[in-house]
A and B are shown apart, each in its own frame.
Chain A
Amino acid sequence: MAAKGEARLAAMSAAIRAADAPQRIRADYAAFLREHGLVDGDVDALLERGGERMLVYRSLVHNRLRNVVREFIDRSAARRGKSEFRADFDAFMDEQAPVTPYLRDVPAEFVAWVTPRWTANEAVPPYLVDLARHELLETDVRNDPAGGEEPTELPLALDRPLRFDGSCRLMRYAWAVHKLPYALEDTSTPPHVLTNLLVFRDRTGKVRYLEIGEWSALVLEELICRKLPVAEGLRRAADRDGASLDDERLAKAANLFAELADHGVLLGAEPG
């Protein structure tokens, strides 16, 4: 059995997190407490105060955290539906709960947890995971500890990787969720088209969204995500595209690099 100090914390933690805690505390509070290892004096003291008071803490914790998540992904939460979103959140608290000490990172933990569940649930609109990931970007990219690195001042070299601003992310969506209106009451379905966005924080601190084509996305996947040297990255991207690295593709890549350098997101070749 848990040490005495631990048992009391365990009981309260369960009262806050467990999906069935309200029902069980209201049915038999003493049994609930004893099950978590609490003994006579502690059980009596808590019974005196009553189970509803314990559940005040559950409400305080859930309200605060659920509101933060909703604030970050308000359109996804609205589309999910009030009670469904609440149930999802209760299940998150029950099964995992936040592990980050930073409140602003809780929404991303929730979205990571809920993604496979929404994907597997036919009642959930199929674009909702993409929309939630998209909604998270604004604060995620704005606050990324990385980003704002200095340019390397080195020209592009085929045998070296490129350095990109640390805040940039390549987002690949199956649905064009970035085209959805901002109104919370909107329920339209986004176009079902593969969508690639390069998202980064510019030098003024603003989050920028750059829509890019499939070839550009393949290239950036190799160069940003896998950090491959330019020539190897381009070759692999062409392989995955099922085509050869022809002049047209090379020209497109060169344009892409020039555009990203203009935006201050491509910072030059990595030093050797």
Chain B
Amino acid sequence: MTTPTGIGLGLRAAFIERVERGEADGKVAFLELSPENYMHRGGPAPRRLGAISERFDIITHGLMMSLGGVDPFDDEYFRELRSFLDRHRSPWHSDHLCWCGFDGALLHDLLPIPFDTGTAIRVADRVRAAQDRLGRPMAVENISWYLELGRGQRDEPEFVAEVLERADCLLMLDVNNVFVNSRNHGFDPYTWLAKVPLERVVQLHVAGHELWDDTLIIDTHGADVRNEVYDMLAWVIERVGPKPVVLERDSNIPPFAQLLDEVAAVDRVYQDALGRWHANQLVAKHGS
């Protein structure tokens, strides 16, 4: 298993043919994809993906594990997922700190969880069980949430830290989600970032977002990355060093060349920050 670093792209049906034709070659460091879009599926899509994964490192990012849920895990889903991850040699697998199903129904969205210890224990148990079933490390992603489901005993970064420690797992840090939440709920995103154990960050997401109304931003992955989010990415990379960073785009997808330009723009921010990280390393090693 390889662990790519640099700027990767979230693979989407809208441009998978262009990736297959080689238009992303040399321009993205790796691809991230959601196994649910390819699992349990025959025909052209898995064939295409097989060809693509010969040329690119693949990191998997799931949607439907429902780590914050209370329904028992679906054995069939895990079996399919495990064989998919093995086939595409994903070094770890990530899913969200959320729930997406209840009482057998699956709602196909990232639904919020309360930030309390009971929930942290439940989520951590499920993360550990998932790691066992998948035979590889799990990373959990902080989501955009529009309400907290009840009265939490702690704030979100404390909750995230508690889950990470209890599960001894990795963090898939979505800086856009931190930004969206900071605007929706009125907190300082850098205070948030300073409170999570950055040494557990294994991968990052950047994306754009849109307004629902004048009081709420929704994490649609439907717009360009904002400067504030670039700044946050740089702040994190400066502290954690080389990591894989994924540009996510799910709606209003621009022409592919333009999307690749955005990958290049994320890369410039990343490389600058990495330069500062290297400088810091040297200072730490040899003194100033």
On chain B, the residues within 8 Å of A145 by CB distance are: 40-42
B44 contacts A205, CB within 8 Å?
Answer: yes
Secondary structure at chain A's binding surface: helix, strand, loop or mixed?
helix
Q: Does A98 contact B (CB under 8 A)?
A: yes
B106 contacts A41, CB within 8 Å?
Answer: no
Q: How far is the CA of A147 from the CA of B150 in the complex (A)?
A: 48
Which residues of chain A in 47-61 are interfacial with respect to chain B, using CB atoms and an 8 Å cutoff?
49, 53-54, 56-57, 60-61
B114 contacts A61, CB within 8 Å?
Answer: no
| Contact partner, B105, options A98, A167, A201, Cβ 8 Å | A98
On chain A, the residues within 8 Å of B37 by CB distance are: 103-104
On chain B, the residues within 8 Å of A54 by CB distance are: 147
Which residues of chain A in 29-59 are interfacial with respect to chain B, using CB atoms and an 8 Å cutoff?
38, 41-42, 44-46, 49, 53-54, 56-57
On chain A, the residues within 8 Å of B44 by CB distance are: 142, 205
Q: How far is the CB of A88 from chain B (nearest CB, A)?
A: 17
8 contacts between A and B (CB under 8 A): A3-B70, A8-B149, A9-B69, A17-B105, A56-B212, A97-B107, A143-B42, A143-B43
Q: How far is the CA of A54 from the CA of B42 in the complex (A)?
A: 38
On chain A, the residues within 8 Å of B119 by CB distance are: 5
Residues of chain A whose beta carbon lies under 8 Å from any beta carbon of chain B: 3-6, 8-10, 12-13, 16-17, 38, 41-42, 44-46, 49, 53-54, 56-57, 60-61, 64-65, 96-104, 106, 142-148, 166-167, 201, 205
| Contact partner, B108, options A3, A42, A53, A106, Cβ 8 Å | A106
Interface string of B89-118 (1 = CB under 8 A from A): 000000000010011111111010010001
Q: Does B146 contact A (CB under 8 A)?
A: yes
Q: How far is the CA of A109 from the CA of B118 in the complex (A)?
A: 34
B42 contacts A167, CB within 8 Å?
Answer: yes
Q: How far is the CA of A61 from the CA of B108 in the complex (A)?
A: 7
B146 contacts A57, CB within 8 Å?
Answer: yes
Q: Does B39 contact A (CB under 8 A)?
A: yes
